[in-house]
Amino acid sequence: MTRANPGSRSVSQSTTAAAEPADVATGTGEGRRPVTVRVSDLRVTIPTAASLVRPTDGVSIDVRKGEILGIVGESGSGKTVTCRAMLGLLPTAKTTATGSVSYPGRGVDDVLGLSPKQLRKHWGSFASMIPQNPMTSLNPVHRIGDQIQEAVAARSRLPKREQRDRVVELMRQVGIPAPERRLRAYPHEFSGGMLQRTLIAIALAGDPEFLVADEPTTALDVIIQDQILATLLELQRSRGMSLVLVSHDLGVIAQTCDRVGVMYAGQLVELAETRQLLAAPQHPYTSALLQSMPSAVPPDQELASITGAPPRLVGMSEVGCRFAPRCEFAEEACSQWPTELLAVGSKQAREVRCRRHAELVLTGESSMQ
């Protein structure tokens, strides 16, 4: 599997901070922002008792400074493995990976090849993560204030008292009310939303440039979801961080991201600017996803769903479109096609993994904001 047009992606060093975020991300402006994290043909293999599983199979993505990149897909699509690999984390000790993850701005060419000690230097100060399950992601026997302070202390040389002040300030920024009173609380005394805010505070304690949010609102109820997302966006904007937001909820992605990558069965099947993706998707899977959302359907109609079953990752063949079995536009040739990401149009920042994309007219979603 090859990446589309490797030569066409030049990284421009000129700063175009004044340009619209969308233009900057897709390169329609004079220059494009520098790449913060580059994933290059990443293939992660996990040996299981039975055989080999490849949750991520040839993913290439650039995350640029200041952008919000969404990654959307079903469970098992490989989005979690991919985004964690960006931090240098792989599922188990026995996992192997080919391809690379690099931090061009930091001069790190091979994140996955770093030793744990070297990796640690980047955690907290450059890259950080907001995990999926706030209820289990904090140490149950330490106080909230101490846990945030631990993150602060790891990355600064401030004396204790000033560390405390910084903790309180962080808590305020993430929207925890009355922080001074909450310092001595334990995780089990906090609600899910508050815990997630704490985790955001911890992630931001070292002033990272790059943040991965792995389904940050999935475990929370809808009202809190909105609040947390708003907080996250505000913080991203004010700090100018690159944010990778992973979700299976297209609604969340649509609200927040500049660009979206759609993953299926371990591969990236479409990558585009959010508005364009929603208005005119180029991949049948993306289109099907959009149509299957409850909000896409008028109240009196049946919900649409994608026929067939989610793919099993074991024993995936190298050749052939993986969505073909469930695709209503599939042809014979689709299952023989050595899939690759193709450029869409002349914009060069849009890619899709479908051999028929140029001829298909797919339904987009217009009622999504």
Partner 1 sequence: MYLARMAVRRVVQLLPILFGITLVSFFLLRLIPGDPVRQILGSHYTPDLAGPVRKSLGLDLPVWEQYWDFLRSALTGGLGHSYFYNQPVSGLIGQRIGATLSLIILSALFTAALSIPLGMVSGMRRGGAVDQSTRVFLLIGFAVPSFLLGIVLLLVFAVKVPVFPVSGYGDGLVEHLSHLFLPAVTLAIPFSTVLVRSLRSSVIDILDSDFVTTARLKGISGWQVAIRHVLRNGIVAVITVFGVNLAFLVGGTVIVEKVFAIPGIGTLLVDSVSNRDYPVVQALTLLFAVFVVAVNLLTDVVHVGLDPRLAADAR
Partner 2 sequence: MTAFTEVRTPRRGFVVPIPKPRWMRGRATLIVGVLLVLAMVVACVGAPLWTSSSPTAIDPAHRLLPVFSPGHLLGTDDFGRDVLSRILYGGRLDLAIAFGATAVTLVVGTAFGLCAGHIRGKTGAIMMRIVDLFFAFPFVVLVIAIITILGSSLLNLFIALWAVSWVNYARISHGQALSSNNYGYVVASKALGFSHLRIMLRHQLPSVLPGVIIFAMVDAVGNVLLAAALGFLGLGIPPPNPEWGSMISDGQNFIFSDWSLAIMPGIALVVLGLGLSLIGDGLSDLLRPQS
Query: What is the maximum alpha-carbon separation in the chain?
Result: 68
Instruction: Answer yes or no whether residue 367 interacts with partner 2 by CB under 8 A.
Output: no
Candidates 2, 17, 51, 94; binder of partner 2 (CB under 8 A) is 94
Pick the stretch among 13-21, 26-34, 81-89, 140-148 that binds partner 2 (CB under 8 A): 81-89
Tokens of 147: 């846990």
Local structure of residue 311 (DSSP, 8 states): P
Tokens of 324: 């073909």
**Partner from partner 2, partner 1, none contacting 138, C-beta within 5 to 8 A by type:** partner 1
Q: Sort residue 195 into left (φ over 0), alpha (ψ -120 to 50) or beta.
A: alpha
Rounded to whole angstroms, the Cα distance separating 141 from 135 reads 13
- β-pairing, 210-214 vs 127-130, is parallel
Tokens of 311: 């793919």
Min. distance of Cβ 208 from partner 1 in angstroms? Answer: 10
Candidates 58, 66, 78, 88; binder of partner 2 (CB under 8 A) is 88
Candidates 131, 179, 193, 261; binder of partner 1 (CB under 8 A) is 131
Q: Which is nearer to partner 2, 1 or 119 (CB)?
A: 119
Pick the stretch among 86-94, 219-227, 254-262, 340-348 that binds partner 2 (CB under 8 A): 86-94
Rounded to whole angstroms, the Cα distance separating 260 from 93 reads 30
Interaxial angle between packed helices 222-239 and 192-204, expressed in degrees from 0 to 180 and rounded to the nearest 10: 10
Q: Which is nearer to partner 2, 113 or 345 (CB)?
A: 113
Min. distance of Cβ 213 from partner 2 in angstroms? Answer: 15
Candidates 44, 72, 87, 262; binder of partner 1 (CB under 8 A) is 87
Closest C-alpha to 323, from 276, 279, 270, 280: 270
Q: Spell out the residues 6+ positions from residue 324 whose beta carbon is closer than 8 angstroms to its own.
A: 330, 334, 335
Closest C-alpha to 173, from 233, 244, 246: 233
Closest C-alpha to 239, from 32, 26, 23, 36: 36
**Partner from partner 1, partner 2, none contacting 154, C-beta within 5 to 8 A by type:** partner 1
Chain positions 149 to 208 lying near partner 1, rule: CB under 8 A, are: 150-151, 154-155, 186, 188, 199, 202-203, 205-206
Chain positions 111 to 140 lying near partner 2, rule: CB under 8 A, are: 112-116, 119
User: Which positions touch partner 2 (CB under 8 A)?
Assistant: 84, 88-95, 97, 112-116, 119
* Residues in touch with partner 1 (CB under 8 A): 87, 89, 116-117, 120-125, 128-129, 131, 133, 136-142, 150-151, 154-155, 186, 188, 199, 202-203, 205-206
